[in-house]
Amino acid sequence: MLVLWFGALVLIVYITHWVYYWRNPRCNGKLPPGSMGFPLLGETLQFFSPNTTNDIPPFVKERMKRYGPVFKTSIVGRPVIVSADPDLNHFVFLQEGQLFQSWYPDTFTEIFGRQNVGSLHGFMYKYLKNMVLNLFGPESLKKMLPEVERTACRRLQRWSNEETVELKEATASMIFDLTAKKLISYDQDNATQNLRENFVAFIQGLISFPLDIPGTAYHKCLQGRKNAMKMLKNLLNERRAMQGKSRNDFFDFVLEELQKEGTILTEAIALDLMFVLLFASFETTSLALTLAIKFLSDDPSVLKKLREEHEAILRNREDTDSGLTWKEYKSMTYTFQFINETVRLANIVPGIFRKALREIQFKGYTIPAGWAVMVCPPAVHLNPAKYQDPLIFNPSRWEGVEINGATKSFMAFGGGLRFCVGTDFTKVQMAVFLHCLVTKYRWEPIKGGNVFRSPGLQFPDGFHIRLMEKTRME
């Protein structure tokens, strides 16, 4: 009996000791203030808690009020420093590859693949980045511009014949089909399996609580990835069997790289890259486009100004039916202001993760080696010290502001060495779609359009509109 009591006492002391050190992590200096939450679970539930605000996420905003712009927490079992401090954010991006490296929770790695481009570093990351720039770089986009315009015009024409259109789904389908064609010559109309269906299942559980049990969103997400990867591997094998018949797509480029003597590219890395490119190219852009149309629906003055810019492009042409030129695209000054303002308020990416490679001192605080740092773009984009009335949609605030990458106050496309290589592709798709839309169509919202974050941006009820061709008098 005495032994049992002694054993129980030892267990209690051990648990008490463990809980204490969980809540008070060891550090050579001074950790930022904050709470580590419950053992193992941390503050994961609070982080993933859904909300309907367009403001700074409540999880971050409440802790900023309590602890300041830099605080510690624990998410999915890992200690994390959350930064809403522009100076620290800039420092983290500036020291990419030196003091910090890209890092995401194990659950994200499971979802995107252990050899995905976000998890690779150094030479391998630069090698893959250069591969992607062959597809999404400015010279390629110039050649792609007519196809982007034709795709947008065809889809809009089709939607105008429908009773209602759910914009998020419709734009996602449009962008996915275009991107899949450029990447892997995938044609949904002639395919035996629906590749995008697997990505839909993947997306629904992407930013959800990481519980891998049948029936949960996270489990469906992993299954969606598994099925999509299987299809991509089959398509790659089919392409190999074509024995040199070129399709002039990204798959051709990948196969050439795989066949080179001494190549560092592996099939697993290539397939993970393809998966990430397909996902990133359509999901984030369709969210931004849907929000953009909602903003236009809510603000007739912005719509009027945008429409005037694009109608001026048509008037200045010798042939109004000729397609967009690169020069016309680059002249869309107000459109780019509109896009900047849309992505500033969209905050599609709620957090950008890095990992400290060694102990770092910053403004009197210590970031221990191995700890994650989560840069919080919404806290930067909605900072009233930088943006007057930050929750108000006002494209004109960007007048005269030149944005060529990330800044301390604007990081909608990431920052540092990992600034999104698809940024120009996203802007081309949004600008061209808006050009086709505002010059040839009008629309009216039918239902939905409510924004939901958990913590990523979602439209739980979609955004349903009725699209109609403009008359000559309009």
Q: Binding site for heme, residues?
A: 420
Q: Which residue has the tokens 């960007």?
A: 398
Q: What is the DSSP string of 280-325?
A: HHHHHHHHHHHHHHHHHHH-HHHHHHHHHHHHHHHHT-SSTTSPPP
For residue 413, what is the enclosing H or E element? Answer: none
What does the alpha-carbon distance between residue 473 and residue 83 come to, in Å, rounded to a whole number? Answer: 52
Q: What letter does residue 470 receive in the DSSP assignment?
A: P
Of the candidates 269, 254, 263, 277, the residue with the CA atom closest to the CA atom of residue 114? 269
Length of the chain: 474
For residue 427, what is the enclosing H or E element? Answer: helix 423-440
What does the alpha-carbon distance between residue 461 and residue 458 come to, in Å, rounded to a whole number? Answer: 9
The contacts of residue 368 (CB under 8 Å, 6+ apart) are 25, 27, 28, 31, 79, 356, 359
Burial of 16 (0-12, 13-18, 19+ CB in 10 A): exposed
**Contact (Cβ atoms closer than 8 angstroms) between residue 199 and residue 278:** yes
What does the alpha-carbon distance between residue 261 and residue 263 come to, in Å, rounded to a whole number? Answer: 6
- Amino acid identity of residue 215, one-letter, is G
What does the alpha-carbon distance between residue 133 and residue 411 come to, in Å, rounded to a whole number? Answer: 20
**Contact (Cβ atoms closer than 8 angstroms) between residue 448 and residue 461:** yes
- Amino acid identity of residue 12, one-letter, is I
Q: What letter does residue 194 receive in the DSSP assignment?
A: -
Terminal-residue alpha carbon distance, the chain: 91
Q: Which two tokens stand for residue 201?
A: 């299942």
The contacts of residue 450 (CB under 8 Å, 6+ apart) are 52, 459, 460, 461
Q: Which residue has the tokens 């007739």?
A: 300
**Could you give the angle at which helices 423-440 and 138-160 cross, rounded to 10 degrees?**
40
Binding residues: 420
Q: Report the 10 Å Cβ neighbour count for 294.
A: 21
**Contact (Cβ atoms closer than 8 angstroms) between residue 55 and residue 84:** no
**Contact (Cβ atoms closer than 8 angstroms) between residue 389 and residue 341:** no
